[in-house]
Structure 1
Amino acid sequence: MPIPLIAAALSAIAPQLAQKGLDLLSGVFRGAADKGVDEITQLIHDKTGIDINDVADNKLTESQWTQLKQFEFDYQGKLLAFRQQSDANDLERERIAAADRGSARDMQKAAIASDDPFVRRFIYIYASVLTLLTFLFIFWAAFIHQYTADNKESARVIDTVLGFLLGVSLSAIIQFFFGSSQGSRAKDQRIAQLTQAVADRDADGSKP
């Protein structure tokens, strides 16, 4: 029977593995759960009998940790191949995201060059209206709306709308106009690292 990987436990698995010196396995579980991670999870269970979800709660015995270390040693080739493929996929996703942002900015440059004043100013009008409505909604939710025991459902709706406005709409506007300095630097560094990793892998593969 396949061993399901609990999404809530995934973020805690990698640090626990790293603390025990299982860096290769730790890297496998640092990303999002996908088919490849599920396959490694199942392989660990088949070969050692260990449910990787127990790592998140630090439930493994010393004997089981020893088994995991032996598993990492025995299957390091498979784990390395998985990491390399995962890095390549991450690089491609970052490239697609960067191209998408570039296309949006190119479109805005073309709009600025338009003779139609509405076209030139549309993005600014749209962003201003959305930002104003967001802050008006925040003000209403914080200072005007009456929260009572009878309208708990409406409070949940307000929470959802606030989360969307702040986490998606307003965040997207800020990033579009001003960028996310720290996030952009981190992504640029990540792209450079992944590009170098893929280049090193290709160079190693081309050696006789």
Structure 2
Amino acid sequence: MVRNSEVMMTTTDDTPEDSRDEVYTGEDWYARDLSGRTFRDCSFIDCDWTEVVDDGAVFAGCTFANVMFNASRHTGAAFTNCTFRNCTFFDVQFTDCKLMGSQFTRCSFAAFEVDGGDWSFVGLAGAELKQSTFDGVRLREADLGEAVFTKAAVTGCDLSGAQLRGAQFTDADLRGSDLSSLEPLTVDLRGALIGVEQAAVIAVGLGMRVG
């Protein structure tokens, strides 16, 4: 079902509280408040989510293609097992959100901030995340292979079991993050900032003995 943004989406009341299997194409949801809404197995194609706000919204198994998320704010929301393709994330903030199992492909990120939440099993392979911020985020078994975190802050994060091969952490702040899955010779750590305990973990990863 394709909804028409001029007819069906004039106000927030036009969208059911619980939407399932809906297809939204070309929707202009500028500054819309989606707090408390639930969307299951829905598709959003060529939509504008600029300055969208949601507190506790649920998106389960949804697909986002060519969606502009610029300046949107998401708090306590869940985007589980979702797919994001060719989406734009400029000045976007995710606070205490759950994105378990979601996959990002050919998306662009700038001034991107994630504070807390569970991003386990997320697919961000090859993502350009320069100068982004991930603070206190659970990224267990996430696929971050070939991702670029140059000058990013990835602090206090759980990276246990994460795929990091080929990732670039040049001049990144990694303090407080679990680096037990990191294979030092397979990532770029030039200029990265780490703590003493993390240095010991990396030394062991290089085959050294710490006395």
Q: Which TM class, normalised by the smaller chain length?
A: under 0.3
- Which TM-score applies when normalising by structure 1? 0.19
Q: Which has the higher helix share?
A: 1
Structure of greater Rg: 1
- Which TM-score applies when normalising by structure 2? 0.19
